[in-house]
Amino acid sequence: MKYTITLLPGDGIGPEVSASAVAIVEATGVAVEWERHEAGLRAVEAGHGTLPEATLDSIRRNKVALKGPITTPVGRGFSSVNVGLRKALSLYVSLRPVLSWKGLKTRHDDVDLVVFRENTEGLYAGREHEVVPGVVEALKVITADASTRIARYAFEYARWRGRRKITVVHKASVMKLSDGLFLDCARAVAADYPFIEVEEMPIDRLAMQLALDPTKFDVLLMENLYGDIVSDLCSGLVGGLGIVPGANIGSSAAVFEAVHGSAPDIAGQNKANPIALVLSAAMMLEHIGERVAAERVRRAVGKVLAEGKVRTGDLGGKASTTDMTKAIIAALPAIEEVTA
């Protein structure tokens, strides 16, 4: 079978890490026709705005996209491309798996957790205004529908992946109505999954517990702002954003992305670490049903990191993007090794 997938190469180092991910996906033998579209700075420079309608149409048509890091120009009139994608395509699930890798020295060696972040509302709904000069008001929007659907997705994910515990994160002691509603919706969904352990934890306590011992956690479920902060915090526990994949998923489309920046200071120098986008591509392969190919990519990344011979600058080495790409392709296990 041949798949048609939208590719947003991105800005800065985006085209380099995107080329790496594409090469590794194709090395698995999965047949993909890539529809290339622009967004962000490159799209603005071409006169199409930050998020061209042709880009959105391609994702709507193909249902799946792989996205490199994108720069949103700083200044009035330029909205975030990431927020624009989530709103336009109703990508209500932000999914960030966080995993320790052998060969990388971090404070904790056996982290294996997943962060679920509601992606469409909360303070990130962007509803704010100036009441009077010097006084600004921002509205935190929480709805039962959005809270219930993200909770349902997280519990279904846990059920199918054999994960046994979900921590619902909140600050309902202060925001009794908004966080209270999110918590109530999670409780209602949890009642349908009596075989999954559920705990509730205030966001400040979670931050402390993650710093002390993140291995106690399995699946984290939270609203938008908390999820944005906690997902990056968790990435730092295992080595940084350069090795953590991400996905934004909705009912009719999914965008898989590296969540690090576009790093314009090293763009075009063949220095960027492609692993985050490569692992995001593995998530994409799994999403379209190519689970064996996805596992081959993950195992290849794990082997390269464990051996420690090929490391980009952010990982303490001197290897180029090209070196890392070639090493991962060379490390791809045979299909028989994965299916045996």
Active site residues: 124, 171, 204, 228
With H, G, I as helix, E, B as strand and everything else as coil, classify residue 307: helix
Tokens of 11: 């800005």
Token pair recorded at residue 285: 């392969």
* Rounded to 5°, angle at Cα 122 from 230 and 144: 110
- Provide the b/e sequence for 237-268 (b: ≥16 CB within 10 Å): bbbbbbbbbbbbbbeebbbbbbbbebbeebbe
Question: How many helices (DSSP H) and strands (DSSP E) are in the chain?
Answer: 12, 12
Cα 135 → chain centroid:
34
3-state secondary structure of 29: coil
Neighbours of 160 (CB within 10 A): 8
- Rounded Cα distance, 240 and 244, in Å: 7
Question: Which DSSP state fits 122?
Answer: B
Q: What pairs with residue 137 in β-bridges?
A: 129
Pairing of strands 165-170, 197-202: parallel
